[in-house]
Chain A
Amino acid sequence: MGQLIFRRLVFMIFMLIGLMAIVFAISNIAPGDPARLAAGPDATNEMVERLRVERGLDKPIIIRFGVYLSNLAVGDLGTSLHTRRAVVDDLARYFPATLELVLFSIAFAVLLGVPLGMAGAAFQNKIPDHSIRFLAVSGVALPMFWLGLMLQWYLSLELDLFPLGGRLGIMTPRPETVTGMLTVDSLLSGNFDTFRESVWHLVLPSLALSLPALASIIRVNRAEMLETLNKDYILNARAQGIGPLRIVTTYALKNAILPTLAMIGLRFGWMLGGTVLVEGVFDYPGVGLYATKAAVSSDFEPIIAVTLVLGASFMLVNLLIDLTYALLDPRVRSQI
């Protein structure tokens, strides 16, 4: 087990280097002169050229990639042109916010999606199944930025139930930073009002971000449950007189959840990417919004850094999923 984790982590490093190489190459092909943008519109050509040499932008791409990697090894991700801060500091500020949003969304999607998929299978082709399928199809069909706007318009502007955006009200004091996740930090400092407010701010963006994931989790789990409920061991359980509730929620679910888990891992990755849209709509200060702002100002170092962090999170989550597999299925466990 320990050996497997170690092997996967080492392999991850190589995948991340590959990922960075791709992003690095793309950012060099993309139009826009970083030196010109960094110097500002009023700078003279000499100033731009001086900045280019200063930042090493005149060197060939392969040298610059090597320099980038060696800087990365000592924890230097460069400097953002638009915030004028070290990218590492920016990430430390924005990434916990994104992580909080994504964890909230995935928890929502899983805690709602798995039972709904289960119910759909248990009541196949009856009214609950049809209603759940309606939800699942709309979830796949609605683009999340549009859904975000509609939620803002109706639940926030019309009904005034939720805040429009952001992480906390402007007047609310920030809790002391420990994890950077406001819900956790406010609980750690015992400030329940702030906790409630931060959760309140998370509801709408989480809804928008999780609906597509919710939909696909429902669909996969429903299909897997249907298949599992037809298995021989379910017939045997029924022949023993075991009740339908226990059969569905225990005997079938523990088998059916395995493929659903793979889907959850994939959806986590989609959500990380989806934050770019949803954080934009809800003006939520996370890495998605940070990357968007960097992209419009041809600020490449933050973009590469964000890709690196999101990529690493995605890989870690999938490692976690594989370990959960082993936890749930004794046959997988005996192979590692």
Chain B
Amino acid sequence: MQPLLSIRDLSLEFNTFDGTYQAIDRVSLELNPGEALGLVGETGCGKSVLTRAAFGLVPSPPARITSGSVLFQGREILGLSPREQRAMRGRDVALIFQDPMTFINPVFKVGTQLVDAIRAQQLGKVTRKAARDIALNMLDKVQLPNPVRQFESYPHQLSGGMRQRVLIAMALTAEPKLLIADEPTTALDVTIQAQILDLIERLVQDMGISLIMISHDLGVVSQVCSRVAVMYAGQIVEDAPVAQIFDSPAHPYTKGLLAAVPHPFRPEDRLDGIPGSLPNLYNPHTGCRFAERCPLAINRCVEARVAQTFVGPQHMVACTACEGAQIDA
């Protein structure tokens, strides 16, 4: 089966006043049609930049893609012109973002923004009237109460959950092949979080959309995704089916993350944090960026690029300590 999205050896740096910041380091990632992948990692590890850069949404300058390729349905999309990239966005790939408060334009009516988005996604081939019908139908699908009235509302008249529903509707009207959900529930309170997650999961399944769910919440990812890729400081350190990540994490960073999740029945237990802090990415070494905080680190970890090891079916880990556990994948 041809993967829907295939990112190979993608590196990206930001040219800043302080020097070159190497945000993404030789990242490879594949997504099959219909698959739901979770991309986890702490704030600033490059999750959002990676997915945005693949679709031309990171302004350049200051960003610069230094190597790699991104294939979408087998077609290279990194070198596309801005116009071609724009035609892909909304139609082939849709994004929903973290904070529904700031990602919706405050001075235009909800309906106006929806109609505009729909017309852009259909490359101007639908009338405003037709786009309005599509929008209302979609607002109904995302279970926004009283869609006709909300259509005429301004964003500040809607609650956070309602706005996120509007943004989901906006993203999915063209039935894209891929949805990138960039921490879509982080800014919402817990009861709304569950509703929005359910909604995304259901829509993605009904419409046959592949999903990349970016999150720093392993619980969220385990609920929605079948596979998880763990990122640390611009590198992918482990990539495996959800069950294996939880049952037999291989990378020391993944183990550290899981040890930091509170246990629901033993809340009095102390949580184990990961000692140390994020590395400086202005002049990183070529090896594993977790090495400085890793209990298992040896010299070889920082001297050269760490090879990918398969320690189980579809279970990839980039760790020197795991090299002995290689299986024939």
Contacts and interface: CB of A to CB of B under 8 A. Distances in A.
A141 interface: no
A45 interface: no
Given A235-B57, A330-B156, A240 B107 contact: no
Interface stretch (B84-92, B191-199, B228-236): B84-92
Contact of A240 (B89, B106, B157): B89
Contacts of B89: 238-241
A239 B90 contact: yes
Contacts of B37: none
B140 to A, nearest CB: 20
A240 B102 contact: no
Contacts of A239: 55, 57, 89-90, 94-95, 97, 171
Interface centre among A236, A237, A241, A255 (most CB of B within 10 A): A241
Contacts of B87: 241
B116 A233 contact: no
A236 B120 contact: no
A81 B121 CA distance: 71
Interface string B115-128: 01100110000000
B104 interface: yes
A236 B103 CA distance: 6
A251 B105 contact: yes
Interface in A237-286: 237-244, 246, 251, 254-255
Contact of A241 (B102, B121, B167): B121
B99 interface: yes
Interface centre among A237, A254, A328, A331 (most CB of B within 10 A): A237
A277 B132 CA distance: 55
Given A236-B97, A240-B170, A240-B171, A331 B154 contact: yes
B57 A334 contact: no
B86 A255 contact: no
A6 to B, nearest CB: 26
Nearest to B119: A242
A231 B104 CA distance: 10
Contacts of A235: 57, 97, 103
A232 B103 contact: yes
A241 B107 contact: no
Interface residues of A, number: 22
Interface centre among A235, A243, A334 (most CB of B within 10 A): A235
Contact of A232 (B99, B120, B157): B99
B256 to A, nearest CB: 31
Interface centre among A235, A239, A242, A330 (most CB of B within 10 A): A239
Contacts of B57: 235, 238-239
Given A241-B90, A243-B86, A330-B156, A255 B170 contact: no
A334 B107 contact: no
B94 A231 contact: no
A167 to B, nearest CB: 41
A84 B104 CA distance: 63
Contacts of A328: 107
A331 to B, nearest CB: 5
A243 B81 CA distance: 13
Interface in B52-109: 55, 57, 82, 86-91, 94-95, 97, 99, 102-108
A334 B153 CA distance: 12
B156 A334 contact: yes
Interface centre among A231, A236, A244 (most CB of B within 10 A): A236
A330 B120 contact: no
Contacts of B156: 330-331, 334
Given A233-B105, A239-B89, A330 B97 contact: no
Nearest to B167: A236
A331 B82 CA distance: 34
Nearest to B122: A241
B106 A255 contact: yes
A241 B89 CA distance: 5
B117 A240 contact: yes
B155 to A, nearest CB: 8
A329 interface: yes
Contacts of B90: 239-241
Interface centre among B82, B102, B103, B156 (most CB of A within 10 A): B103
A233 B121 contact: no
Contacts of A236: 95, 97, 103-105, 167, 170
Interface in B162-194: 167, 170-171
Interface of A: 231-233, 235-244, 246, 251, 254-255, 328-331, 334
Given A236-B103, A236-B170, A243-B120, 4 more contacts: A241-B121, A242-B116, A330-B106, A330-B156
Interface of B: 55, 57, 82, 86-91, 94-95, 97, 99, 102-108, 113, 116-117, 120-121, 154, 156-157, 167, 170-171
7 contacts: A237-B105, A240-B89, A241-B86, A241-B120, A242-B117, A329-B106, A329-B107
The 6 closest A-B pairs by CB, nearest first: A241-B90, A240-B117, A330-B154, A232-B102, A241-B89, A233-B105
